[in-house]
Amino acid sequence: MDFGYRQPVEIVFGSGARGRLADVMQKKGFKRGVLIADSVFVKNGMADEICGSAPVAAVFDDFGANPEIAAADAAAKLIRKNKADCVIALGGGSAMDLGKFAATVAAGKASAEELFYGELPSKGLPVIAMPATAGTGSEVTSVSVMSDSARAAKKPLVSDAFFAKVAIVDPELTLTVPPFVTAASGLDAISHALEAYWCKARNPVSDALAVRALALLFGAFEEVCRDGSDRAARTDMSLGALLAGMAFAPTRTAGVHACSYPLSEMYHLPHGEACAFTLDTFIRINSAAEPERMNALCRAIGFASPSAMASRIVRYKKLTGMRTTLSAIGCTDAAALAAACAAHPLQNNNPVSLTADQLEEAFKALG
């Protein structure tokens, strides 16, 4: 056996952990932060609460669900203007993606566009990540997904610069997340853990993290979708998403995520819904190739079989209003979708290699 595992992000986890921001900044020697937050937190007063509790000089919230390189330039300008020595990213995946990228742009001379298309530095301003959804795991990964819609480009950028210095994971921040986003984020986290477990780059540390993550996520998913104010379920989802993030940070993801990018680009599915779209299909395909390994996972987390796990995902999707068929997403050209999915580089990390024809058949089987 031969493997490595690296996770440089310091983690502070707990209900109310957002109240420890000032303490974390002081311990790290940070004097002045700029907060990059989803606008919902500016509207509901959470940004004010955070600015009142820690030395935060300014707030940036002018960005959408797919953060643009232009937003990164604007945020970097604000960071420089305020002479901030750290960036605090509060929100879902988009706030953390933008926070990480803007912190790197702000630390150098190159524009966001130059970095998006060129070489990424390995260092940026330090980031404190405060996830407000239980899903992306971005708080513990070196990935920042950015878009340049002018050129129809969206891609995950990977650099050590995008590891946060500290992740402050406070499940209370997820209490106000609406049901559909809760469900999509949860299915994204389940995808991360499963892909870390079955991908070619898997390792024993990721395995252990993924198994625990899946037990937590499957255990709490239905309750958190039924009652978003259930603190115990929210805590399990936040912890599950964090562990799933730690599982896939070094392994990357595989076929499910490979397909999610074309699904989001061509049919505008939110990331979690795009992952959920093919998740049960990949559970069936990948389990058939490695039945013993998947049976062991099922035994560990209480499923009778991989097929039962796949059926559970289908049930989750129906329960939470995810689209499950090609017609529902408006796709009339399964061949073009399958070709884009088969060509995505993450497909190479899937334990089973699939041709465009095989993917097309799988998509058509969805109805």
The Cα 323–Cα 320 span in angstroms is 9
The Cα 344–Cα 337 span in angstroms is 11
Q: What are phi and psi of 141, to 5 degrees?
A: -115, 165
Q: What are phi and psi of 275, to 5 degrees?
A: -65, -45
**H or E, element range at 43:** helix 39-43
Rounded least distance, CB 130 to Zn ion, Å: 18
Rounded least distance, CB 145 to Zn ion, Å: 9
Rounded least distance, CB 194 to Zn ion, Å: 11
- Residue 77: CB atoms within 10 A of its CB come to 14
The Cα 188–Cα 186 span in angstroms is 5
Cβ proximity to Zn ion, 38 vs 188, nearer residue: 188
Cβ proximity to Zn ion, 30 vs 248, nearer residue: 248
Rounded least distance, CB 96 to Zn ion, Å: 12
For Zn ion, the nearest residue by Cβ is 188
CA distances from 340 to 36, 92, 266 (A): 33, 27, 10
Rounded least distance, CB 288 to Zn ion, Å: 23
Rounded least distance, CB 266 to Zn ion, Å: 17
Cβ proximity to Zn ion, 97 vs 188, nearer residue: 188
3-state SS assignment for residue 108 = coil
Q: Which residues bind Zn ion (CB under 5 A)?
A: 188
Cβ proximity to Zn ion, 53 vs 348, nearer residue: 348
Cβ proximity to Zn ion, 233 vs 254, nearer residue: 254
Cβ proximity to Zn ion, 135 vs 306, nearer residue: 135
3-state SS assignment for residue 170 = coil
The Cα 67–Cα 79 span in angstroms is 17
